Amino acid sequence: MSAPAVFPTALVLSHLAFEDAGTLGDLMEERGFDLQVAEPALPSTRLPDPAEPDLVVVLGGPFGVYEEEAYPHIPGEIAFVERRLALKKPIIGICLGAQLMARALGARVYPSGTHEIGWKPLFLTAEGRQTPLVLLGEDNPMLHWHGDTFDLPPGIPNLARTESVTHQAFMVGNYGLALQFHPEIRAGDFERWLLGHAFELSARKIDLPALRAQTNTFGPGLASRSRAFFSRWLSLAGFP
């Protein structure tokens, strides 16, 4: 009698109900991952031992990693990410998740002085062109939604930039992937983002019709490139 199949587990740390793992989540399900979602900010949430999940994905959020007094869950989440990285077990950080990874590796995270909201070209560095990021396409627009940035952890090269923000991506060996931008976005989910971030968009005087039009233009093409990118990285991280 054959042994039952064992599927890899993926723990997704979510900070906003309307922002999920998107195309990355779809790909993980197709590749047989057992997805588990946790909300670190809730007092009732008890994160597992950082060594337990086969993969950890840390999504975006509307707060800064330096706002520990306002959001008391932050130190525990940083400690979780720090331990995960120390174990050299696969972890992906997107937007806030990338900032948490940078902070866990000893780098500074701080307001960038500008807010990138919308679709802006992503330029790969020479080092970035040697990574799966090349599958996202050279100089292609990516969705950005952040006001903070990070310094690079010691010894880690920058992989991508935009015209406004220099540090947009880094990798730690083949087990850590940090992305300041949002390749996971599904164009069909974007209206949820507009509703969820309505106050911020109004305060920043963002042109919503233009932002919708950009998403309709760039979102569908991004989906296939994003799947190819994440698929290549997952393979590098040891997932068949």
Catalytic residue of the set 144, 146, 167, 182: 182
Which residues make Cβ contacts (< 8 Å) with residue 80, sequence separation at least 6? 40, 47, 50
**Model pLDDT for residues 130-167, shown as the tens digit of each residue:** 999 999 988 889 999 999 999 999 999 999 999 999 99
CATH classification for the domain delimited by 9-236, as one of 3.30.450.20, 3.20.20.70, 3.40.50.880, 3.30.360.10: 3.40.50.880
Looking at residue 4, its pLDDT comes to: 54
Which residue stretches of the chain have pLDDT < 70? 1-5
Q: Which letter, b or e, does each residue of 100-124 get, where b requires 16 or more Cβ atoms within 10 Å of its Cβ?
A: bbbbbbebebeebeebbbbbbebeb
pLDDT at 138: 82
Q: Which residues contact 169 (CB under 8 A, 6 or more apart)?
A: 98, 128, 133, 158, 159, 160, 177, 178, 179, 180, 181
CA–CA gap between residue 182 and residue 162 (Å, rounded): 13
Among residues 19, 77, 116, 184, which one is catalytic?
184
pTM of the model: 0.96
Q: Among this protein's residues, is 15 annotated catalytic?
A: no
Per-residue model confidence (pLDDT) at position 1 = 53
The pLDDT value given to residue 7: 86
* Whether 73 is catalytic: no
* 184 among known catalytic residues: yes
Selecting among 15, 77, 95, 146, the annotated active-site residue is 95
The pLDDT, as a whole number, for residue 217 is 95
